[in-house]
A and B are shown apart, each in its own frame.
Chain A
Amino acid sequence: MADYRALILQRHRQLKWKAFDWVEAVLMILCGVCISMFTLAVFLDVVTRTLGAPWLWLQQVTTAFFAWGVFVGMAAATRRNDHFYLTEITKRMTGAPRQTIEIVNRLIVLVVAVLLIWCGTQNALLDLGSYRMPSLIPLTVYTAIVPIAGVLIFLFTLEQLICGWQNGFEGPEDRDDTREAVL
C-alpha cells in the first residue's frame, strides 16, 4: 500500500486525531492478514486431508486467526464508527442533548473496555496453564487478544470523547438525504 492514509476512513474526521491514523491503518492491515491467513489455513486443511496426510494443528491456527480477526476488527470498527447500531436517532439530534448522549454512550463503552482489559488479562494469565490439543498451543495465544482489543477500544473511545468535546459530535454525514458512497 503506497499511502497508508488511503486506509483511513474520513467519515467523522472531527472525532479523530491524526496521531492515531497509523494505528487504524495497522488494524485494517491486520484484519486483512487475519482473514487471508485463516482462508489459507482452511485451504491447506482441505488439501492435506484430501492427500491423506492431514495437519491437525491447522484447525487451531485457523481458529486463532479467526478469533484475533474478530477482536482486531472490533477495535478498528470502534475508531471508524463502523459497528452495528440499533438506531440513528442520536444522529438526528443536535446541540446539548446530542453532546450529552454521545458522551454517555462513550462512557458506557469505556467501562466495557476497562472490564475487557482487567478481566481479559486475568483470563489470559490463567490460560497460560491450559493448552489446545494436539498442537499444545497455550490458550493464552487465543485469549490475549481480548485485553489487547480492550486497550485499543479504550484509546479510540477516549479519542472520540475528547475530540467530540472539543469539536462537537455532529458531522455532515449525519444528514440522510445524501447518497452515501458505496465501498
Chain B
Amino acid sequence: MSAAGVLILMTLLFLGFGYMGVPVSFALIAGVLVATAFTPISMQSMVGQLFHGIDSETLLAVPFFLLVGELMASSDVATRMIRLSQTLVGHLRGGLAQVVTLFSMFFAGISGSSTADVAVLSRTIARDMDKEGYDRAFTAALIASASTMANLIPPSIMAVVYGATGNVSIGGLFLAGVVPGVLIGIGLMIYSYFWGPVGVLKKRAPLTEVIVAARGSALPLVIPVIIMGGILSGWFTPTEAGMMAAMYILVVLIPALNRGHVRELPRDFMYAGLLYSLPLAAVAGASAFGWMVAYLRGPDIVAGYITGFAGTNGAMIMFLLVCVFIIVGDFIDAVPAIIIFMPIINKLTEVGNLKPLHMGVVIITTLVFGLITPPYGLSLLVASKYVGVGFGKAVIRSLPLYVVFLLTIAFVVLFPDVVLWLPKQFLPESVGCFKAPGGSGFICPP
C-alpha cells in the first residue's frame, strides 16, 4: 500500500473507532498499530513511541496547571473571585452572564483547565442563573464559551503542549495568548449586554463592597503573578511555575481562606492525578500517530496540497490552515490534534516563511473554537451535562457566540503585530529577535 494510502487508512480507522465510542487514546493507538502492519516498522517500536511521547519534562507543566485548577475549584476559594466579578459587573444588563465572563477571565489567569472553570461556574452561578430566568441552554453555551479563555490566557495547557512538541517558546505562547483571550472575553460581554437575556437588573455595588471583595480575592489573584512573573523573570520554567502556584495554594491559600478543606486534599490529589492522565494518555497515542504521519511523509503530502492552492504565500497558507483546523477541531480534541499535526504545521510554517509563534497562537485560537463546536465540543459537552440541558439545545444557543470566536481568529491572523506585541516586549527571543552585537537592546526581523 502507498504511503498516502496508509495515512488515509490510519486516519479513517482512528475516526471510525473514535466515533464508534472507543476512547480517544485507544482509537489513536489502534489506528497506528494497524498502519504499522503495512510498514517495515516493528510493533514493539511503536509501543515504545507511546512512552517516549510523554517522556518530556516540558509536559510536566500540564498536571500542575490542572492541579491548580482543581485545587481552586474544589476548595471554593474561586468563589471569592466570583464575588469580586459580581461587584464589578453584576449591575450591567445580563448581570450574571457578565459575571460568568469576567470570572472566567480571572480564572483563566490561574488555571489552564477549561473543565475546572466549567465545574466552578456550574456549581455556583449556573444555579443562580436558573433562578433569574436565564434559559439553561444559554447558560451552558456561555459557560462553555467563556471557559475556553483558560486555553488562551496564561497559563494554557494547549500552549504547553504546542510549545513542547513544536519547539516554540512556551512563555512567548503564553503572552501571545493574552490578546485573543481578552478579545473573546470582551466579545462575550458585548454579546451578553446587547443580545443576551436581561436577567434581574441590580444596583451598582458601592465602592466599599468592591474594596472588600477585592481584598477577599487578593490572595488568589497573586497566582498569575507567581506564574508569569516566575517565567518572565527567568526564575522558573513553566513546569516549575505551575508547581510553585500549586504549592502557594497548598501552603498559603487553603490554610488562610478555607482551612477546613485541608482534610479533602488527599481526594483532590487523587482526582487531579487521574485528571492529568486523561489528556496525557491521548498525548501518548497522538505522539505515536504524529510519528507515523511524519514517517509516511504526511507533512510533504499535505504541504504539497496546500501549496498547490496557496503557493508560498504566508497569509494564504495560514488562512487554509485555519479552515483545516476549524474542521479538525470539530472532530478531534485539541491536544492530540496539536501533536498529530505538528509535523505538518512546522513544514508549512517554513514554506510560508511565517513566524512560528504567530502560527502557534493562530492554531491554538482556532482549536479553542473547537471546544464549543459539534460534534466534539468538549467544553460544551461538559457544560451541558453539568447544567442539565441537551447538547443539541446548547449548540443552537452557542451559534451567535461563534461570531465572537471567528472575529477573534480573523484578528489574530490579520494583526500579528498586535498579537505579538506582548512577547516582543517581554520575551523578544520568542519572536525571533536576537541581542544586538553592542549588547544593548534587540534586533528584530520585520
Chain A residues engaging chain B, CB cutoff 8 angstroms: 1, 7, 28-36, 38-39, 42-43, 45-46, 59, 62-63, 66-67, 69-74, 76-78, 80, 82-91, 101-102, 104-105, 108-109, 111-112, 115-116, 119-120, 122-123, 142-143, 146, 176-180, 182-183
Cα of A54 to Cα of B385 in the assembled complex, Å: 47
Determine if A123 and B240 form an interchain contact, defined as CB atoms under 8 angstroms apart.
no
Instruction: For the complex formed, measure the closest distance between the CB of A86 and the CB atoms of chain B, giving whole angstroms.
Output: 4
The answer, yes or no, to whether B262 is at the interface (CB within 8 Å) is no
Closest to B56 in A: A63
B residues in contact with A123, CB < 8 Å: 44, 47-48, 51
The answer, yes or no, to whether B97 is at the interface (CB within 8 Å) is no
Determine if B57 and A108 form an interchain contact, defined as CB atoms under 8 angstroms apart.
no
The answer, yes or no, to whether B361 is at the interface (CB within 8 Å) is no
Determine if B281 and A73 form an interchain contact, defined as CB atoms under 8 angstroms apart.
yes
A residues in contact with B385, CB < 8 Å: 176, 179-180
Closest to A123 in B: B48
Cα of A59 to Cα of B30 in the assembled complex, Å: 32
Determine if B278 and A73 form an interchain contact, defined as CB atoms under 8 angstroms apart.
yes
How many residues belonging to B are interface residues under a CB distance threshold of 8 Å?
A: 72
Neighbour of B60 across the interface among A63, A116, A178, CB < 8 A: A63
Cα of A43 to Cα of B119 in the assembled complex, Å: 28
A residues in contact with B240, CB < 8 Å: 42, 45-46
The answer, yes or no, to whether B206 is at the interface (CB within 8 Å) is no
Closest to B17 in A: A108
Instruction: For the complex formed, measure the closest distance between the CB of B130 and the CB atoms of chain A, giving whole angstroms.
Output: 10
B residues in contact with A116, CB < 8 Å: 47, 50
B residues in contact with A88, CB < 8 Å: 381, 391
Determine if B281 and A77 form an interchain contact, defined as CB atoms under 8 angstroms apart.
yes
Instruction: For the complex formed, measure the closest distance between the CB of A103 and the CB atoms of chain B, giving whole angstroms.
Output: 11
B residues in contact with A86, CB < 8 Å: 15, 18-19, 24, 27, 331-333, 375-376
- Given A82-B278, A116-B47, A183 and B119 touching (CB < 8 A)? yes
Cα of A102 to Cα of B22 in the assembled complex, Å: 9
B residues in contact with A43, CB < 8 Å: 243, 247
Determine if B243 and A42 form an interchain contact, defined as CB atoms under 8 angstroms apart.
yes
Closest to B230 in A: A46
Which of A7, A101, A102, A105 has most chain B Cβ within 10 Å?
Answer: A105
Determine if A42 and B24 form an interchain contact, defined as CB atoms under 8 angstroms apart.
no
Determine if A122 and B44 form an interchain contact, defined as CB atoms under 8 angstroms apart.
yes
Closest 9 CB pairs of A and B: A73-B277, A31-B273, A179-B388, A83-B23, A86-B18, A90-B21, A32-B270, A119-B47, A35-B273
A residues in contact with B266, CB < 8 Å: 1, 32
Closest to A150 in B: B47
Determine if B274 and A111 form an interchain contact, defined as CB atoms under 8 angstroms apart.
no
Neighbour of B33 across the interface among A29, A66, A112, CB < 8 A: A112
Determine if A178 and B388 form an interchain contact, defined as CB atoms under 8 angstroms apart.
yes
B residues in contact with A101, CB < 8 Å: 20-21
Closest to A74 in B: B281
Can you pick out 29 interface pairs between chain A and chain B where the beta carbons lie within 8 Å of each other? A28-B274, A31-B270, A33-B273, A35-B269, A35-B276, A42-B60, A46-B240, A62-B60, A63-B55, A67-B51, A69-B276, A69-B277, A70-B281, A73-B276, A77-B278, A83-B26, A84-B278, A87-B19, A87-B375, A105-B17, A105-B21, A108-B22, A108-B26, A109-B22, A109-B26, A115-B29, A116-B50, A119-B44, A176-B390
